[in-house]
A = this chain, B = another copy of it.
Amino acid sequence: MKTYWAVLAGSLLAWMLMGQDAGAALDREKLLKDPGVYGTFAVFKVDEDWWKLEKAARTSAVSEVKAVFQKHADHVITDTYLLRGLSERADFFVRVHATEMLNNQNFLVDVMGTSLGKHLHNTHTFNGLTKPLNYVPGFPEDVKTALKTPPDPGAKPYVIVVPVRKDAEWWAMSQDARGAMMKEHTDATVAYLKTVKRKLYHASGLDDLDFITYFETAKLDDFNNLIIGLERVKENKHNKQFGSPTLLGTIRPLDEIMEILSR
C-alpha cells in the first residue's frame, strides 16, 4: 500500500508543479476577464472564542493571514468583502481566482491553518469557472452593442453574490429556446449596465449550483430594480434556486477587515 501512496504523491507533486507558474506574478486584469479561470468564494464567520483572545494574540494572528495572502500572490488573485452587519450568515468572504482549482484549495488551506483560521467557521464555499459567453453570439447587433456599455467610473462599494440553480426543464430545452429566454433576460439588464457590474461563473458539478452570479454597484436601489426586472422574465420560472443565500456586503481591503476583527 505504501508504494501506491508514494506513486500517487509523486505524480500529484509533478502535476502541481506543472500547473503552476511559479515565480511569475499573476496578471490580475487578465484573470478577471479570461475564460477557463477557477473561482472559489470562501465565506467565513469568526467563532466566539476568537473574541476572548488577548488583543496581542489577535493582532499577531492577523499578521499571519496577511502573510498567507502574500505567499500565494503568485498563484491566486484575491478579493475580500465584509458581510458583517448585513448578513447573519458570515463576517466576510474571499473570492479566489486561479488557473487551477488546486491553487485555490492550497491557498485556503493555508488561510484556515493560521491562528485566525482556526477560529474561522467556513459557512459557505461556492466553486465555479469562467467560460466564453454562451448566448450573446446569437443576439441581435443592437443588444451586442448595448452590452459593450462600459460601467460608470467610480467606486462600486457594494457586492452581491447570488448562487443559482436551474430546473430540469431548463436544461431539457433546445439551445435556441434557452437563447430566446436569455435574450429577454438580457434586455431587462440593459438599463443597469452602467451602474451594476456583473460576472458569471459556471458551477454545475463543481458545486450544488449551476451558476454563481456576482455583482458590484454603488446604487442598491438600481440593483433592486434590476432583480425585479429579472424576476419578471420567463427565464425566472426555471430558477429552482436563486440566492439562499444572497450575500450582500461591501468591498473592503483585507487590512480593513482584519482591523475590524482585531479591534
Chain A contact residues: helix, strand, loop or mixed: mixed
**Contact in complex: B48, A232 (CB < 8 Å):** no
A118: contacting residue among B15, B51, B255, CB under 8 A: B51
**Contact in complex: B204, A227 (CB < 8 Å):** yes
Minimum CB distance partner of A226 in chain B: B205
**Contact in complex: B224, A88 (CB < 8 Å):** no
Q: Would you list which residues of chain A between 130 and 175 have a CB under 8 Å from chain B?
A: 131, 154-155, 157-158, 160, 162, 166, 168-169, 171-172
- Copy tally for this chain in the complex stands at 5
**Contact in complex: A113, B263 (CB < 8 Å):** yes
* Interface range for A: 35 or more
**Contact in complex: B224, A204 (CB < 8 Å):** yes
Minimum CB distance partner of A232 in chain B: B171
Given contacts A1-B73, A223-B205, A256-B9, contact A218 B15 (CB under 8 A): yes
Instruction: Say if the beta carbon of A195 comes within 8 Å of chain B.
Output: no
Q: Would you list which residues of chain A between 74 and 110 have a CB under 8 Å from chain B?
A: 82, 84-88, 101-102, 104-109
A contacts, CB < 8 Å to B? 1, 4-5, 8-9, 11-12, 14-15, 28, 36, 38, 40, 42-43, 47-49, 51, 73, 82, 84-88, 101-102, 104-109, 112-113, 118-119, 122-125, 127, 129, 131, 154-155, 157-158, 160, 162, 166, 168-169, 171-172, 202-208, 210, 218, 220-221, 223-224, 226-228, 231-234, 236-237, 239, 243-246, 248-256, 260, 263
Jot down 20 A-B pairs with beta carbons below 8 A, ordered by A: A1-B28, A8-B253, A12-B250, A12-B252, A40-B86, A48-B118, A85-B104, A85-B105, A86-B101, A86-B108, A88-B123, A127-B248, A166-B231, A168-B236, A168-B237, A171-B231, A202-B224, A205-B223, A205-B228, A205-B246
Name the 4 nearest CB pairs between A and B, nearest first.
A205-B227, A85-B108, A85-B105, A171-B231
